[in-house]
Structure 1
Amino acid sequence: MPFSLAGKRGLVVGIANHESIAAGCARAFVNAGATLAATYLNAKAEPFVRVVTDSLACDLVLPCDVRVPGQLEAVFETIRTGWGRLDFLLHAVAFAPREDLHGRVVDSSAEGFGIAMDISCHSFLRMARLAEPLMTGGGCLLTVTFYGSERVVEHYNLMGPVKAALESAVRYTAAELGPKGIRAHAISPGPIRTRAASGIEQFDELMVRAAAQAPERHLVDVDDVGALAAFLVGDGAKHITGTVIPVDGGQHLMA
């Protein structure tokens, strides 16, 4: 094993099923020796999440819909009372109302834009604030973005501005919490077929174009993302912070 996360405790928010990016990261964390807490959105989602968390022997599995008052706070309170500390966090939560996601950005409703920003971006800041007092020995905060934040990607629409805001939030978080040894990063994978991605129109075409354009001529998968995430929360990356790191076969290089 090139590095170890033995003794580290982390929280993964955003597992949807065994094919989700958060699941790939959770597997990598546990395979490197970490102990995990994880969340599920609601009772309907719980069985799909349990397939992942049971296989990884997650120490805590808790409900968390970031739009339900008190649920996110309850997750961190359970971690505080059960563990007393937290070493890393993965935020892999994103959502936009379908009618706003499938329309032009200029036509997005104020309500839809606000919902997308609240769930996909501001929830990261809320998690950072709640994690801060638990990361007494420093820690690492991760989130997931996409290159549609900086370039116009057809059909990505409203999530482009939202992910741009998330990346900016990561930079400010890294600067503000850095004196406490808390680092922050956004991981930017290329297109991956997940349940969340299925909401984007013509996503199959996007994946074909991405594979053809990337210098490596293939797409990454959730385990590739997990390998990067595990490195970032490890001690070998303790002086790296505030970055947006692509894992996309080099696609970000191409015009």
Structure 2
Amino acid sequence: MPNDFLQLAGKTVLVAGVANRKSVAWHVARQLMEADCRVLFSVRSPERQEQVGKLVAKAGGSADDVLVCDVEHEDQITRLADEIAARGVKLDGLLHSIAMADYEDGLRPFHETSKRAFLRTVEISCHSLMALASALKPSFSDDASVVTVSISTTTMASENYGYMAPVKAALDSSVVFLAKSFSRDSRVRFNAVGPSLLKTSASAGIPGYVDSYLYAEQATLRGEALRTDEAASTAVFLLSPRSSGINGQKLVVDAGMGANYFDESLVRAVVERGSDAAEN
């Protein structure tokens, strides 16, 4: 019998936000399935349902466990909750890995962010956590764990990330308030995992991301970029009963990058580049 250290065997977790096999959500789902945990999926469109269904079936799961819910539409959130309730299952966990930045207006300076783009991004990337948690509350087991995917820091002004960082800051704060709100009548926990830069399909769409990713790789204490499966492992831990004492928190997973911005080699490279420019 395999060692069930995380005590996930026989549990049921809803994973919301799988886009493809590179997604943090998919890495989390795979690890949960390997721990003998039943995984239900929520994706945003019928097209995504078909794509993710194939991934799930290939991994040994059932494509019937992939449900559709576009969180921009309240009726679809209600429908998702009804579908899960109709299955008669109790959710021991929810992974919220849903984020979208509206760049229809193009990449602009932060102060030129449109109200339309900002509010739509908040609705999808932040309020969806509250909406899903509220709708699914009757289906949560009393000590369920809800985990969302944030970012390692929201106080560093990375301009190419734009207004997404303030939205993630709102998400981080929502985790605390949801934890408090649910504590009135349950032991449901809310936490966030905050990874640094990852090599995912979603991140590839951010202007200038590759350069930032390469810098982050040099800035980690180990000189190696954070892997998606490492971020996923932290989320799996937070979803498990083993993290029962953690509530209303964000666990940063950045391979030490946040402690290493003034690494000697990084500082020297900047100084030498500045000296070369001055001489020319």
Superposition TM-score, scaled by structure 2 size: 0.86
What is the aligned partner in structure 1 of residue 276 from structure 2?
A: none
Residue 24 of structure 1, CA deviation: 0.5
Tell whether the 8 Å contact from 1:101 to 1:200 is kept in structure 2 after alignment.
no
What is the aligned partner in structure 1 of residue 26 from structure 2?
A: 23
Counterpart CA distance in 1 for 2:74 and 2:142 is 29
Counterpart residue identity of residue 195, structure 2:
P
Counterpart residue identity of residue 250, structure 1:
G
Tell whether the 8 Å contact from 2:152 to 2:254 is kept in structure 1 after alignment.
no
SS in 1 for 2:217: helix
SS in 1 for 2:199: coil
What is the aligned partner in structure 2 of residue 142 from structure 1?
A: 147
Counterpart CA distance in 1 for 2:83 and 2:47 is 22
What is the aligned partner in structure 2 of residue 222 from structure 1?
A: 228
Residue 29 of structure 1, CA deviation: 1.1
**1:57 and 2:61 correspond:** yes
Answer with 1 or 2: which has the greater Rg: 2
Tell whether the 8 Å contact from 1:84 to 1:134 is kept in structure 2 after alignment.
yes
What is the aligned partner in structure 1 of residue 38 from structure 2?
A: 35
Distance 1:108 1:133, change over 3 A: same
What is the aligned partner in structure 1 of residue 271 from structure 2?
A: none
Q: Deviations over 1:107-165 (max 9, x none)?
A: 11111011000000000011111222222422111111113422212311110110000
Tell whether the 8 Å contact from 1:29 to 1:226 is kept in structure 2 after alignment.
no
**1:210 and 2:216 correspond:** yes
Residue 80 of structure 2 is aligned with which of 75, 78, 88? 75
User: Structure 2 unaligned runs (5+)?
Assistant: 262-280
Residue 49 of structure 1, CA deviation: 1.4
Tell whether the 8 Å contact from 1:225 to 1:247 is kept in structure 2 after alignment.
yes
What is the aligned partner in structure 1 of residue 6 from structure 2?
A: 3
Residue 111 of structure 2 is aligned with which of 101, 106, 114? 106
Tell whether the 8 Å contact from 1:211 to 1:219 is kept in structure 2 after alignment.
yes
Tell whether the 8 Å contact from 2:23 to 2:200 is kept in structure 1 after alignment.
yes
Counterpart residue identity of residue 12, structure 1:
V
Tell whether the 8 Å contact from 2:94 to 2:146 is kept in structure 1 after alignment.
yes
Residue 255 of structure 2 is aligned with which of 220, 233, 249? 249
Residue 100 of structure 1, CA deviation: 5.0
Counterpart residue identity of residue 84, structure 1:
V
Of the structure 1 ranges 142-151 and 242-251, higher mean CA displacement relative to structure 2 is found in 142-151
Counterpart CA distance in 2 for 1:193 and 1:51 is 22
What is the aligned partner in structure 1 of residue 89 from structure 2?
A: 84
SS in 2 for 1:188: strand
What is the aligned partner in structure 1 of residue 190 from structure 2?
A: 184
Of the structure 1 ranges 113-122 and 199-208, higher mean CA displacement relative to structure 2 is found in 199-208
Distance 1:184 1:56, change over 3 A: farther
Counterpart CA distance in 2 for 1:207 and 1:241 is 30
Runs of 4+ in 1 over 4 A off after TM superposition: none
Q: Deviations over 1:185-242 (max 9, x none)?
A: 1111111121211221111001101010011211222211221122112111111111
**1:14 and 2:17 correspond:** yes
Tell whether the 8 Å contact from 1:86 to 1:134 is kept in structure 2 after alignment.
yes
Distance 1:135 1:39, change over 3 A: closer
Counterpart CA distance in 2 for 1:47 and 1:218 is 35
Counterpart CA distance in 2 for 1:30 and 1:142 is 17
What is the number of equivalent residue pairs in this alignment? 255
Q: Deviations over 1:52-94 (max 9, x none)?
A: 2222404621111111341121111111110332110011111
Residue 101 of structure 1, CA deviation: 6.7
Q: What CA RMSD, in Å, does the superposition of the two structures yield over aligned residues?
A: 1.6
Q: Deviations over 1:5-34 (max 9, x none)?
A: 012111011000011110001011111121
